[in-house]
Every structure is written in C-alpha cells, then in structure tokens.
Structure 1
Amino acid sequence: MVSSKPVLRELHSTSIAAQLETEIVAGQIKAGEKLDEQSLTKRFGVSRTPIREALHELVARSLAERVPYRGVLVVDITKERIEEMFEAMSEIEALCGRFAAERMSVGERVELERLHLRMSELAETGDANSYETANSEFHQLLFTASHNTDLIDLANTLRLKLAPFRKSQLKKRERMKRSNAEHEAIVSALIERDAKKAEKALRRHLMSAAAEVIATMS
C-alpha cells in the first residue's frame, strides 16, 4: 500500500505557498522581509519540510530570492519588472498561438471551443475562482497545441512567475468579461487557422492583462 505522507506534505506546501503568495502580492509581506523557516513552521503548524518546499516554490515564481547568509527574502516587485515579464510572456504566447493555428488537431480545436463556452458562462455568473482555473487550462491548451516542447517549457516557466499577478487581475467581474471577449478573438483566429490573427490577438490579450495589473499597483 502506498503511503499518503508525501501527498499530505505536498498539499501542505502548496497551500502554504499560495497563502504567502497572496500576502506578498497584496503587500502584507514587504519587499526585503525575511521568510523565516522557524517562524513559518510555528505559524502553519507543520514541520520544516513543507515550509522549505513552499519557499522553493516562491523562489521559482520570483516572489522571493535566496541570499547567502541571510536566507529567503521577499523581492521588490516593481512595475518595471511586471512590464518586462508581461512583455516576454506576450511574445511567447503569441508564438505559441501562431504555431497552434497551424498545428492544432481537430480534437484540440474542439476542446478549445468547449472550454471557451464554459468560460463565457463563468464570466456571466462572476465565478472568479472557477474562471481563473479554466483560464489556466485555456492557456495551457494553447501552449500544448504549439507542439513544440521547448516553447511549451519556456511558456510554462514564465507563466508560473506571472501566475500570482494574472490571477489577481481576474477577480473583477468586468475584467473577466473583457478577458473572455479577448479569448473570443483568439479562439476565432485559431479555428480559422489564421496564424497572424492569432498572434496579434494574443499580444493584445497579454497587454490588456498587464495594463490591469499595473493599474492596481499605482
């Protein structure tokens, strides 16, 4: 019988990382503040192992950094840094979209349309959490449909870093509706196998998301 302990540890580390991520993005944990293992084990009532895994996740998302002799510190997330990441992400997703328009299977196109219709319903009801989950699936499907392993890896790495900010900008109902309208243009281009149109629509979509995030930082 397989032990459940590793699974439990993973759940603990994931939820801890999510909570710390929320506090960092909201500014409750300030730039330069140390994420102390001992203090966090007491706060969350767990051993050091899930805390270390959670901190590793925060470092991977560029929300924190390991500094020699000082430990794990929260990074200073500036508007300039956010702009740089969104700029890179828009180019990577645009390239994924261009390839996807040319390479998507019939099954992938059907799945993309199905997912978009579901997201339209979620946007109308204002279900932000479900919409955010479906949004991740939507973009992941675009990456996969590029059928280029290295490009998919690059897209996933950068999306992981931007995830906290992209998630926060979808909490507003009006932004969900705009996002869904932007998805409509992306899906239409992909169904029509129009690579240039898909590329352009994805750049606009990412720039729209960037503008929303940066506006909240002002």
Structure 2
Amino acid sequence: MDKNASLADQLRESIEESIATGTLTPGAPLDEVELARQYKVSRTPVREALLQLAATGMVDMRHRRGAAVAELGARRLIEMFEVMAELEAMCGRHASRRMSDEERVELLAAHRACEAARSDGDADRYYHLNEHFHHLIYAGSHSEFLREQALALSRRLRPYRRLQLRVKGRLGASYSEHQAVVDAIIAGEGDVAAQALRAHVVVQGERFADLMAALAHWQASQPTPAESAMS
C-alpha cells in the first residue's frame, strides 16, 4: 500500500471530522503548510487529502488563494436536504422489504442506543448514534448504488445535521421520528417508512429557520484565524 495514499486518507478523515464538529467553520482557510505542521507530515499527503475533500464538495480549491472549507448558501443547503430526504425515503422503502431479521434486530438496538443519549441530553453522542442508525437503513436497502449515494450526501451534510441536534427540543423530536421509521420498517410498510424518513430529514419552515440560527450562532462562537494563531 502506498504510504502517502494511506496517510492522505487518515488526514482526510481527520479534517472532515474537524469540519463536521465545527472546529473548522465554513470559509475557514486550509493552509497546507500549517496543516502539515499540525499533523507532523509533509505537504504531499495534506494536498492529497484536500483534493479528496474537494471532490466531495467539503473543501473549495481557490485559484491562487489556496483551499478553504466550503460555504453553502441557504438555497443550496435546502436543495441538498431535499435530495437527502428523497434518498433516505428510497432507502427506507427498500429496507422495509429487504432487511433480514438480523438487520432489523440491529436497527432496533441502534434505536435504543439513541434513546439513552437522548435521555442524557448528549447531543454529540446522539449525533454519532443517529448517524449509525441511518447508515443501517442505507445498508438495509440492499442497493449498493443507493447506499453509496446516500452516504456521500450524508457526509457532505454532516456539519449541518449535527447542528440541528443542538436546537432546543430537537433530540426528543428526532427520537420520536426514529420511532415512526423503525415501526414502519419492522412492519414492512415501505410507503410509510419512506414518508417518515422524508419528513425526518427534509428541512423546511421553522426547522430551516432554526438551522440558520444555529449556524449563525456556531460561526459567531468560533475564533477568527488571527485569534486561533495567538492561542
């Protein structure tokens, strides 16, 4: 295995996680020299990691200005959530017919794990368990192409899906919506599962306003590049 390729994959995952958790905010510059120093590597795997992230849309490669965390306008963001909702609806419809008994048991276990995090009010832990819950539904569709497309867009929306869970009352609402999804899949009701997942994922009206407010608060709470350099 090529050492640089393997290292680049590790760096991509680490940078992607920093973007998803808000450590790197939309528009933040990604300096190759600084990242190489931070991760104690050469610039070659850093450059490859940034190119990988650019291919997924998480990073913008700007001519003569280097790389930066991609910024999404409100219109683009809502369009992406609309597509995500349809992909998840398709996954749920297929999963309700195709999941094995073992896969249904695993989905129920993931749902119960989310309940524990919800009860603790732990939004970050709930987010990771929630992600696993959705990934099980993608896999349960038994359509590899559909699963790949859902995973790719889900990764792109990670920072924003995570932010939603920090909105007051959203953990409880999310868990209740999961319950409707689980019930439909276990009962083999494909159309009901699709409708429940579509409603769970799409961001419209009040939910969109809440997401925009959370995003504005998140960005305002992050240090400027100058402040980060001084810390």
Contact residue 13 and residue 50 of structure 1 kept, 8 A: no
Q: What corresponds to 2:197 in structure 1?
A: 202
Structure 1: how far apart are the matches of 2:174 and 2:83? 19
> Which amino acid counterpart does residue 13 of structure 2 have in structure 1?
T
Q: What corresponds to 2:110 in structure 1?
A: 115
2:61 partner SS: strand
Give the count of matched residue pairs: 212
> Which amino acid counterpart does residue 90 of structure 1 have in structure 2?
A
Q: What corresponds to 2:130 in structure 1?
A: 135
2:72 partner SS: coil
Match 2:142 to one of 147, 164, 186: 147
Q: What corresponds to 2:185 in structure 1?
A: 190
Contact residue 184 and residue 190 of structure 2 kept, 8 A: yes
Q: What corresponds to 1:78 in structure 2?
A: 73
> Which amino acid counterpart does residue 14 of structure 2 have in structure 1?
S
* CA deviation profile, 1:41-61 (whole Å, cap 9, x unmatched): 235543224422442353244
Contact residue 99 and residue 146 of structure 1 kept, 8 A: yes
Q: What corresponds to 2:162 in structure 1?
A: 167
Contact residue 167 and residue 214 of structure 2 kept, 8 A: no
1:66 partner SS: strand
Match 1:124 to one of 92, 99, 119: 119
Give the TM-score, by structure 2 length.
Answer: 0.78
Structure 2: how far apart are the matches of 1:73 and 1:114? 39
Contact residue 63 and residue 77 of structure 1 kept, 8 A: no
Contact residue 24 and residue 63 of structure 1 kept, 8 A: no
Q: 1:163 to 1:57 in 2, by over 3 A?
A: farther
Q: What corresponds to 1:46 in structure 2?
A: 41
Q: What corresponds to 1:19 in structure 2?
A: 18
Structure 1: how far apart are the matches of 2:10 and 2:182? 34
* CA deviation profile, 1:96-128 (whole Å, cap 9, x unmatched): 111111111111111111111111111001222
Structure 2: how far apart are the matches of 1:205 and 1:68? 38
